[in-house]
Amino acid sequence: MTTQQRQLYWQQQLADWHASELSGAAFCKQYALSYHQFSYWRRKLAGDEPAQPEVPRPIAW
């Protein structure tokens, strides 16, 4: 499966989830989806995926 195909697949899964009125966990359980992958794609497709991991900054006293 190409990256584009994977993206289209998860876009459809998320659209189905929104229409289902189920929680994310319940939807994943019902359709045998990985909740970790579901959460990843939900963030990624919403544009909330951080470009770089957050690095803790030292506290200035």
- Give per-residue pLDDT as tens, 14-59: 999 999 989 999 999 999 999 999 999 999 998 765 555 556 667 7
- Decide which of 11 and 51 is more confident: 11
- Decide which of 58 and 12 is more confident: 12
Establish if 58 belongs to a structural domain.
no
Q: Which domain holds residue 39?
A: 3-46
Apex CA 41: angle with CA 23 and CA 7, to 5°? Answer: 125
Establish if 55 belongs to a structural domain.
no
Establish if 12 belongs to a structural domain.
yes
How far is Cα 45 from Cα 41, in angstroms, rounded to an integer?
A: 6
Establish if 32 belongs to a structural domain.
yes
Establish if 53 belongs to a structural domain.
no
How far is Cα 8 from Cα 6, in angstroms, rounded to an integer?
A: 5
Going by C-alpha positions, the residue among 36, 30, 2, 1 that lies closest to residue 17 is 30
Provide the number of structural domains found in the chain: 1
